[in-house]
């Protein structure tokens, strides 16, 4: 008898908890700012480069070495052809780097320095 009463109150409590709240509206300015931080003009620069693993000519996919969810910005981009990009996502970064003998983090830093120097040269 007590068990039936417990189940009936549980059912009522569950129904109360299942009320849905409205989805929050997206802040368009914040989304645009985050997109700019994550890709920005550097992504266009990266797309024009050959794949840093196999050397396939452009256009390349800009890949975030540090994921966007982990705080990756445009400085973390490396150029990968669609095939290498797909393989990297299927294998994981460490396995991909070991198999292809590359250090994507070092490549990202080198490209960031090169891009910064080219930008300063354009402004001078």
Q: In terms of pTM, does the model score above 0.75?
A: no
- Residues whose CB is less than 8 angstroms from the CB of residue 105 and which lie 6 or more positions away in sequence, other chains included: 65
**Interval 115-124: pLDDT, tens:** 888 878 776 6
Say what the pLDDT of residue 58 is: 77
User: Which residue's entry shows tokens 């700012």?
Assistant: 33
Q: Is the pLDDT of residue 53 over 80?
A: yes
**CATH number for the 29-123 domain, one of 2.60.40, 2.30.180, 1.10.30, 1.10.10?**
1.10.30
Which structure tokens are listed for 91? 């294998």
**Interval 89-110: pLDDT, tens:** 898 889 989 999 999 889 988 9
């Amino acid at each position: 008898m007590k068990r039936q009463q417990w189940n009936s109150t549980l059912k009522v409590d569950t129904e109360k908890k299942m009320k849905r709240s409205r989805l929050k509206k997206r802040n368009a300015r914040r989304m645009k700012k985050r997109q700019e931080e994550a890709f920005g003009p550097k992504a266009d620069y990266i797309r024009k480069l050959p794949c840093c693993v196999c050397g396939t000519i452009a256009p390349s996919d800009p890949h975030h070495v540090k994921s966007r969810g982990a705080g990756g910005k445009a400085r973390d981009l490396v150029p990968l052809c669609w095939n290498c990009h797909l393989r990297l996502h299927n294998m994981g970064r460490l396995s991909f780097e070991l198999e292809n003998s590359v250090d994507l983090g070092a490549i990202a830093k080198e490209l960031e320095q090169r891009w910064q120097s080219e930008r300063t040269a354009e402004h001078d």
